[in-house]
Structure 1
Amino acid sequence: MQGANMLLDEPVRLTSVLTPVKPKVFPSLTKIVGTLGPNSHSVEVIQECLTAGMAVARFDFSWMDATYHQETLNNLRKAAQNVNKLCPVMLDTLGPEIQVHNSTGGPIELKAGNHVTITPDISKAPSSEILPIKFGDLAKAVKKGDTLFIGQYLFTGSETTSSWLEVVETSGENVECLVTNTATLAGPMFTLHVSKAHVSLPTLSDYDKEVISTWGLHNSVDIISLSHTRSAEDVRELRSFLQSHDLQDTQIYAKVENTEGLDHFDEILQEADGVIISRGDLGIDLPPEDAESVYNQLVHFKKLVKHVGDPMPHEESVASSAVRTAMKVKAAAIVVFTFSGRAARLVAKYKPPMPVLAVVFPREGSDPTKWRSYGTTQARQCFAARGVYPLMASTEEAETGGLTREEYGIKLAQNYGRSVGMLKPFDRLIIFQKIGDSSVVKIIECDSS
C-alpha cells in the first residue's frame, strides 16, 4: 500500500527546481450569472463584469422591450470581444407571473391591519385600497386564510418594501386581503406571489413565445431560463417550441420557484439541461426552518447522480474515472475533447477540484459557416457549467501545422493554461476523449517550455 502511494508523489526533477516559475492561478470553479440591467448596459460596465468573473449574461424580459435588450446584447458582444472571452446568453422568460402595474407611478402605502382589494379590473388606479392585476382567476385559485406576497420587482427583501397579505374573502373576481405588515410599494411594477396554490396561467406564455420566436431566434440564444417550471411537461413543451423554430441547439434551464416545482423536481431534472433553484421565491413558500435543508437536498450530489441508473452507462463510467484519476495523480486540469459539450458537462457533474478545459472542435458538415457557428454555440454553453473553461479549436490551424486533432487540442489547452497562470511545466493533465467508438482517459505531463 505504501509503495502504491509513493507512485502518486510529485516527481522531483533538477530542471523543475532550477527553473523559476510564476505562482499558479487557480480559476474559480463556481460560475456567476449576471443580469444585465440599466446600470450594466454600457460596453465599459459589461466589460468590467466579464473581467470580474461574470460567466453568463442573463436578459430578463419581464421588463423593458426587445429593442433595449438588443442594444445591451450588442454591447455585450463588443465587450466580450474586447476581453477575448466567451459569454453565453440566457433569455429569462416571464412565465405565469402575476404583476401589478403601478400606472400612477407614485408610492403606495400599505398599513398593517388595513384591507386591500385585489381586482382584475385594470381600469382602476392602484392605491392603498385597491390593486389591479392582469389575471382574472385569482379568486378561483385562493381561499380564506391563504397567504399572498406582494413586493417590488427585484425586491430587496426588506420588510418595508414588500408586504404579506392574508386572504379574508373572495367576491366574484375580487379578492379582499388583510395587510399584515406596513410597507411602501414604490416603482412601476410589483409582483404578486400566491403561496402554495396553483395559478392557472401557462408556464410558457404567449408573450414568451413571441420573444423567443423573434429576439431569441434572431440572436440564436444559448440558454433559455424557463421561469416557474412546475412539471416536466413544461420543459417538453418549450423543447418542442424551440425545435419548431430552428432553436434545437438552445439549452433549457428550468427555474424551480414554488412547491409545485419541488414536488416534480426529479422529473424536471430528467428533462432539463440545467436547473436553477430560486431561493427568493421558494423562501416564500417554505417555512424558514425547512428552507436550508430543502436547498441542500436539491443540490446534493447523490440527488443528481441517482438517475444515472444501474449499471452505469459507458460515458458516465469513463467521465467519473477521469475525475478519480485526476484526483489521485493530483492533476492540474482535465482536458476534454468535445463536439457537443456533453462530455465536458459529464466530467463537471462529478465536481472535480481542478478546472476542466473543454477543447471544442466545430462539427464538420457540408456548410463550413454552419458547422463553425455550431461549435461556437456549444463552447459558450459549456462556459455555464461548473469549472469548465471552453477553448474553440480550429481544424484548419491543426491541419496547417501538420498536427493531429489530439496534438493540436493538447497544445491549445497547454498554451491557454500557461497564459492565464493555471499550468506550469511538468504539471499533470488528464486527457479525456473519444477515439472511434472508444472513450479514452490518459495522463500526460505539461511541456517544460
Structure 2
Amino acid sequence: MKTLKIFSTVAKDQVMRRSKTKIVCTLGPASRSIKMIEKLLRAELSVARFNFSHGSYEYHQETLDNYRVAMERTGILCAVMLDTKGPEIRTGFLKDGKPIKLAKNQEITITTDYSIEGDQTMISMSYKKMVKDVKPGSIILCSDGEISLNLIICDKEHGLVHCCCENFAVLGERKNVNLPGVVVDLPTLTEKYKEDIFEWGIPNKITLSLSPLF
C-alpha cells in the first residue's frame, strides 16, 4: 500500500507539471540495467521503448523486470511501448559475408531473387514487387539512408532494377531498405506482430504497441 501511495502522489505531481515534450528511450544493452533505468526515470523519461526487431522474449522480459524494479525504487511511473518488427524490405546476403564498397556514380543491379549472394555489381532485395512499383527516377535508400541509389532502368521481364549509386558507401548484409514515395504492398499485420502482442505484450500488460509502416 505504501508503494501505491507513493506512485499516486508522483503521478498527480507529473500531471500538474503538464510537460509538453515527451522523451521516448529505447532500452537496449547500454540502458537496460536497473541502475541506468533509474537514472533515465529521474531524467523524466516518458516512454520506454522495447525494440522487438531484435532480442528474444527472455531478453525483453529481463529488461521489463528491471524496468519495473526501477519504477518501484524511484516511485516514478512511466509508460511502456512495444515496437514490433513490422513489414520491411532488406538487402540480401553477400558473397563470403563481406561488405561491399560502392563508389559514387557506380552502376549496380538489384535483383528480387533473394537467393542471390551479392557483390559490387549486383545485390538482392527481399521485395518481390519492387520492379512493378518503382520507375526510372525513383530513389532507393539502404542502410538507414546512408546509401542512395537512383533508379535508371526497370527490367520487369527478368526482375531486375538497374541503379546508379549517388554516394560513396559500404553496404553490409541484410540492411534495411526504404522506397520514398512508393506505396509498398506488404502485409501490415504480420504473424510476428500478432505473436509479439499475444505472447508477450498482453501478458505483460504493455501500455501501447507500434508496428512501423512504409
Report the TM-score when normalising by structure 2: 0.80
Instruction: Quote the offset at 1:106 in angstroms.
Output: 4.0
Cα distance per residue 1:261-299 (max 9 Å; x no partner): xxxxxxxxxxxxxxxxxxxxxxxxxxxxxxxxxxxxxxx
Instruction: Quote the offset at 1:102 in angstroms.
Output: 5.1
Gaps of 5+ in 1: 1-25, 229-257, 259-449
* SS across alignment from 1:166: strand
* The one of 114, 120, 124 aligned to 1:128: 120
* The one of 43, 53, 69 aligned to 2:44: 53
Hey, what does 2:149 align to over in structure 1? 165
* The one of 166, 182, 187 aligned to 1:197: 182
Relative to total residues, which structure has the larger helix share, 1 or 2? 1
- Measured at CA, do residues 219 and 105 of structure 1 come closer, stay the same or move farther in structure 2, by a change above 3 Å? farther
* SS across alignment from 1:184: strand
Instruction: Quote the offset at 1:101 in angstroms.
Output: 5.2
- Measured at CA, do residues 108 and 41 of structure 1 come closer, stay the same or move farther in structure 2, by a change above 3 Å? farther
Instruction: Quote the offset at 1:128 in angstroms.
Output: 3.0
Q: Radius of gyration: which is bigger?
A: 1
Q: Kindly indicate whether the alpha-carbon contact (under 8 Å) linking 2:92 and 2:116 is maintained by their aligned counterparts in 1.
A: no
Instruction: Quote the offset at 1:220 in angstroms.
Output: 1.9
* SS across alignment from 1:175: strand
- Mapping of residues 258-407 of structure 1, within 5 Å: none
* SS across alignment from 1:80: helix
Partner Cα distance (2:57, 2:112) in 1: 27
* SS across alignment from 1:170: strand
- Mapping of residues 76-225 of structure 1, within 5 Å: 76-100=67-91, 106-151=98-143, 155=144, 162-171=146-155, 172-186=158-172, 189-225=174-210
Q: Kindly indicate whether the alpha-carbon contact (under 8 Å) linking 2:108 and 2:163 is maintained by their aligned counterparts in 1.
A: yes
Gaps of 5+ in 2: 1-16
Instruction: Quote the offset at 1:27 in angstroms.
Output: 7.1
* SS across alignment from 1:46: helix
Hey, what does 2:3 align to over in structure 1? none
- Measured at CA, do residues 139 and 78 of structure 1 come closer, stay the same or move farther in structure 2, by a change above 3 Å? same
Q: Kindly indicate whether the alpha-carbon contact (under 8 Å) linking 2:92 and 2:117 is maintained by their aligned counterparts in 1.
A: no
Hey, what does 1:303 align to over in structure 2? none
Instruction: Quote the offset at 1:46 in angstroms.
Output: 1.6
Q: Kindly indicate whether the alpha-carbon contact (under 8 Å) linking 1:148 and 1:165 is maintained by their aligned counterparts in 2.
A: yes
Partner Cα distance (1:185, 1:56) in 2: 33
Instruction: Quote the offset at 1:185 in angstroms.
Output: 3.2
Q: Kindly indicate whether the alpha-carbon contact (under 8 Å) linking 2:193 and 2:211 is maintained by their aligned counterparts in 1.
A: no
Q: Which has the higher contact order (CA 8 A, sep 6+)?
A: 2
Cα distance per residue 1:161-212 (max 9 Å; x no partner): x1111112223323221101111235x6421110111111012222212211
Give the percent of matched residue pairs that are identical in Structure 1 and Structure 2.
36
Partner Cα distance (2:152, 2:111) in 1: 14
* SS across alignment from 2:91: strand
Structure 1 segments, 4+ long, off by >6 Å, are none
